[in-house]
Amino acid sequence: GAVVSQHPSRVICKSGTSVKIECRSLDFQATTMFWYRQFPKQSLMLMATSNEGSKATYEQGVEKDKFLINHASLTLSTLTVTSAHPEDSSFYICSARVPGSYEQYFGPGTRLTVT
């Protein structure tokens, strides 16, 4: 099956710094990737849709200047949390859509803790 990886799996950073999270589709090319955020005991909330070679589409209420998304290739999308604050601490999960399909395959997630 389709495999999606994320790096790092866990990161702790200080308030005010920036953190980059990578999402890779390992065995297929994904023109569309998605970034989700999940707080404890809650569901996944879509943050943005990342399209290869074009600007990301952000969901309402998500600050595009704070959560920078770059989808530079068909197998890599990155999410940079800029000037992170403790309230940005969360579980960030990416997914990649199989071309021509509705199916999304999810990465293992990245636990971000901002101190």
Q: Which residues bind another protein (CB under 8 A)?
A: 1, 4, 6, 34, 41-46, 49, 57, 91, 93, 95, 97, 102-109, 111
Min CB(6)–another protein separation in Å: 8
Peptide bond between residue 108 and the one before it cis (omega within 30 degrees of 0): no
30 token code pair: 């994904």
Return the residue matching tokens 């990416």: 94
Min CB(71)–another protein separation in Å: 14
Pick between residue 51 and residue 82 the one whose CB is nearest to another protein.
51
Pick between residue 26 and residue 45 the one whose CB is nearest to another protein.
45
Min CB(111)–another protein separation in Å: 7
Pick between residue 29 and residue 42 the one whose CB is nearest to another protein.
42
- Residue 27 CB contacts under 8 Å (≥ 6 apart), including other chains: 2, 3
